[in-house]
Amino acid sequence: MRVLFIVGLVANLLLAASTWLFVPETVAVHFDSAGSPNAWVSPRLNAGLMAGVNLLLFVALCLGLAVTKRSPARWLNVPNRNFWLQLQNRDQMNRMISGLLYQYGFATYLFLFVIQLLVFKANRAEVPQLNLLFFWGATCAFLAYTGFWCYLLLRRFALPETSAHVSE
């Protein structure tokens, strides 16, 4: 999953760079409820903001993983913590957290890519107009995935059947 996470970052950074190169002198960056632009910036600022958001997400997830791996058990809160924070289970817990965060990070990058692509496409049109069908479709899909990801998190941290006798 880490490779896909990095691929997501690179794809978003390339898209940010292309917006700097292939859009008009002013870029619509905010759209009203009808999909019409109502806020504009320079292509350079737009590309910088997009790259900044993507890099911030990358740094936050990587730092979060590093801090989690080095944190004392009393600072961590996971389902069935008495089981997962035991020394013999800590490595498996860290691998599960890493996998889940990389998975969610990739999904977030995919969502950001779609949104940035919609904004890019809107700005390439003679009259900028955001495609609301795809915007809301992508937003709903990402929110549905977020709910599914939360379910996965709880399932992954369920007690293994052989350890069901371990008390909370």
Q: In this predicted model, what pLDDT tens digit does every residue of 40-97 receive, in sequence order?
A: 999 999 999 999 999 999 999 999 999 999 999 899 999 999 999 999 999 999 999 9
Residue 135: exposure state from Cβ atoms within 10 A (0-12, 13-18, ≥19): middle
Alpha carbon distances (Å) from 129 to 17, 67, 111, 156:
21, 42, 19, 42
Q: State CA 77 to chain mean position distance.
A: 21
Domain ranges of the chain: 2-159
pLDDT bracket for residue 160 (50, 70, 90): confident
Q: What is the pTM of this model?
A: 0.89
Contacts of residue 104, defined as CB under 8 A and 6 or more positions apart, other chains included, come to 146, 149
What count of other Cβ atoms lies within 10 Å of the Cβ of residue 124?
A: 12
* Structural tokens at position 98: 């890493």
